[in-house]
Amino acid sequence: MKILMASSEVHPFSKTGGLADMVGALAKTLATLGHEVGVLTPLYKGIRERFPAMERMDLEIRLPLGGRMIEAGLWQMTVATGETIYFVEQPEFYERDGIYGTSGGVFSDNAARFLFFAKCAAYLARHLPWQPEVLHLHDWQAAPAALVVNHQKYREGWGNAPRVCLTLHNVAYQGHFSGDTFGLLNLPWDYFHAEGAEFYAGFNCLKAGIVYADLLTTVSPRYAREITLDLGHGMEGMLRKRAAALTGILNGVDYAEWRTENNPHLVHPFNASKLRDKDRNKLALQEELGLPVELGTPLFASVTRLAEQKGMDLLLPALEEMLAAHEMQFVLLGSGDPALEQAFRVLAERFPNKVIAKIGYDAGLSHRIEAASDFFLMPSRYEPCGLNQMYSLRYGAIPIVRRTGGLDDSVVDFNDDPLRANGVKFDELAAPALANAIRKALRIYADKELLNLLRRRGMAADFSWEQSAHEYLRIFQPPPV
């Protein structure tokens, strides 16, 4: 199958979050399975210098954007057999510090920057010589391409237009702009209505994709249901209308990177039959972070963006209660909301021998924390897929998660199925429920046989990309005529 993806970020070229990892890994896996894959992405500042092997293509893009005519160059780089990355070079839009903005805020011209990108995606789907059969769009930045393709297909007679799939990575981010922004698309205004691209008088990029894509996916089966019920951030009604086109496919894990052996970030390799070597990682981390070096003290951890979504505000009172009453340690690695950063610093000051709060982003340390910890806490309010719980399963850190989205789809609690249990789940979005879950973890910790059973099960769980890639291929197939 011939697939062109479009994403505003792609690992290893650009990244602010899980989107980049997902697109990079899915493209790589589809190409490995023998398919032809292109990935379109903006040429941000510094990418060309970091990847000098890329070549300029003999293809100039000239597209209207409202009243202006915008020109762009196109670069390409073959990264593997069957996988080519295409970069849109438009220095005015993309040659700047930051992808969506800087610490001072988001860029004021993001509508123009990404509507132009979406237009490029539709243009290349039509003009690349290899004629993609599927155009796979990711998130609001690429979503309006679904409307552009739909228009050219049904009103301008584009006979062999590709099927268009939009993947919703997090419905909270929609690209919602003022109504006049719709003019940048240079399309008839009769698309701008409540059943189309309009949303409360504004132009909503994600909604344009939801309405006009042939296929919709999101990153876990449970999140696919939740966004039609109460977690759709205003899109519930439209997603219910499109329910027949919507599929939830769990993201995979890149096990070439997230592994417990031959991992440059880990001094002490381990596996499910050498759990004693996991203990050595715990002792090393306690030493590294300045915690009392005690193998017998249960170690809890979180590695996360400190954002409302992640529910870390609920964790604070739950930890206060549990740390005061029990022998346990807690390590946080995270950054984001300054008030939460400060609250975790204060917690560490109140429990100097029990809590370490590392404020910042540190990929190597995140591996060491996963390898060292006994339990991994994810009390998310909502979680489209979540990756850390899958990493922690592989690293023998038992996940404690709220029953939502991809967390529910990837972790099994004792009450769900004792024969497959690999973690602890709680339902209620409240600190006492979370404290209870931690209490349950302490009981598991006290029963070494059970602890090791859950660990081994978690380490054996397989969330490799191949399985998810096959699910994408299944839905990409044209319906039988």
Residues at the site binding ligand ADP, with contacts judged by CB under 6 A: 17-18, 303-305, 333-335, 361-363, 366, 385-388
The contacts of residue 296 (CB under 8 Å, 6+ apart) are none
Sign of torsion over alpha carbons 177, 183, 184, 188: positive
> Based on CB atoms, which residue is closest to ligand ADP, 89 or 341?
341
- Smallest distance from ligand ADP to CB 69, Å: 37
C-alpha–C-alpha distance, residues 285 and 299, integer Å: 10
> Based on CB atoms, which residue is closest to ligand ADP, 217 or 304?
304
Cα separations in angstroms, 164 against 4, 8, 98, 130, 215 = 10, 17, 29, 16, 6
CB atoms within 10 A of CB 267: 12
CB atoms within 10 A of CB 145: 31
> Based on CB atoms, which residue is closest to ligand ADP, 90 or 281?
281
Q: DSSP of 234-267, one letter per residue?
A: T-HHHHHHTGGGEEE----B-TTTS-SSS-TT-S
- Smallest distance from ligand ADP to CB 333, Å: 5
Q: Compute the residue count for the chain.
A: 481
> Based on CB atoms, which residue is closest to ligand ADP, 130 or 361?
361
- Smallest distance from ligand ADP to CB 425, Å: 16
Please tell me what DSSP assigns to residue 423: B
> Based on CB atoms, which residue is closest to ligand ADP, 212 or 344?
344
Q: Which residue is nearest to ligand ADP (CB)?
A: 18
- Smallest distance from ligand ADP to CB 128, Å: 30
Backbone angles phi, psi at 376, to 5 degrees: -125, 125
- Smallest distance from ligand ADP to CB 342, Å: 16
Q: Give the amino acid at 364.
A: G
Pick the closest to residue 263 from 247, 250, 281 (CA basis).
Answer: 281
> Based on CB atoms, which residue is closest to ligand ADP, 181 or 410?
410
> Based on CB atoms, which residue is closest to ligand ADP, 23 or 303?
303
* Residue 437 buriedness (CB in 10 A; 0-12 / 13-18 / 19+): buried
Rg (CA), the chain: 23
- Smallest distance from ligand ADP to CB 213, Å: 22
Three-state DSSP class for 434? helix
> Which pair of tokens denotes residue 216?
């919709």
- Smallest distance from ligand ADP to CB 453, Å: 25
Sign of torsion over alpha carbons 122, 127, 132, 133: positive
C-alpha–C-alpha distance, residues 110 and 108, integer Å: 6
- Smallest distance from ligand ADP to CB 396, Å: 16
Beta strands at 61-65 and 329-336: parallel, antiparallel or unpaired: unpaired
> Based on CB atoms, which residue is closest to ligand ADP, 209 or 386?
386
> Based on CB atoms, which residue is closest to ligand ADP, 304 or 468?
304
Please tell me what DSSP assigns to residue 413: B
> Which pair of tokens denotes residue 428?
């209620």
> Based on CB atoms, which residue is closest to ligand ADP, 304 or 373?
304
> Based on CB atoms, which residue is closest to ligand ADP, 184 or 303?
303
> Based on CB atoms, which residue is closest to ligand ADP, 335 or 436?
335
- Smallest distance from ligand ADP to CB 123, Å: 30
Element of type H or E holding 458: helix 448-460
- Smallest distance from ligand ADP to CB 105, Å: 20
- Smallest distance from ligand ADP to CB 275, Å: 22
- Smallest distance from ligand ADP to CB 305, Å: 5
C-alpha–C-alpha distance, residues 156 and 153, integer Å: 6
* Strand ranges for 318-454 from DSSP E: 329-336, 355-359, 375-378, 398-402, 424-426
Cβ proximity of 340 and 306 under 8 Å: yes
